[in-house]
Amino acid sequence: MTLAERCVLVAMLTIGLVLAAAVEIYDSKSVALRVGLALSSIAVSFAALRAILKLLGVREERVTPATLWGLLGWSVIPLSQISYVGHLLIPIEVLVAAILISFRGVTSMSRALLAASVARALALAATLALRTLL
């Protein structure tokens, strides 16, 4: 990855964390909890996407860039956390992630869609479980 790509990724993920702090998402009034849940979602998403892309046979040098770009699908603007309609917007998050993964991972759209779907489901499950525990 180029330095410019790294800067864009860091900036976008930072915007997502700032939005988590500023906007009442995850049905929480606590800023610390919202940022913590956003960070846990990023961590689970990264681990899941990376593992799934490796299993799907994406070349090693493409796994990390595809994983990092795929995170942007739901880590920058968490559409799934919009009140009342958020869960209906999860397919949009997954589609955006799949497009980014397919582009950066040089893999088929169907494989990217599979990876993004499973990773998003795992991240959402982990975030919801943590929210109920905390």
Summarised one tens digit per residue, pLDDT across range 100-121 is 999 887 789 999 999 999 999 9
pLDDT tens digits, 50-87: 999 999 998 888 999 999 999 998 888 878 777 778 88
Domain of residue 71 covers 3-133
Record the pTM: 0.87
For range 25-41, the mean pLDDT? 84
How many domains does the chain divide into?
A: 1
DSSP 30-88: -HHHHHHHHHHHHHHHHHHHHHHHHHTT--HHHHHHHHHHHHHHHHSS-GGGSTTTGGG
Residues 105, 58 contacting (CB under 8 angstroms): yes
User: Which residue in the block uniquely carries the two structure tokens 């009034």?
Assistant: 29
Instruction: Give the pLDDT band (50/70/90) at residue 129.
Output: very high
Please give the pLDDT value at position 74: 86
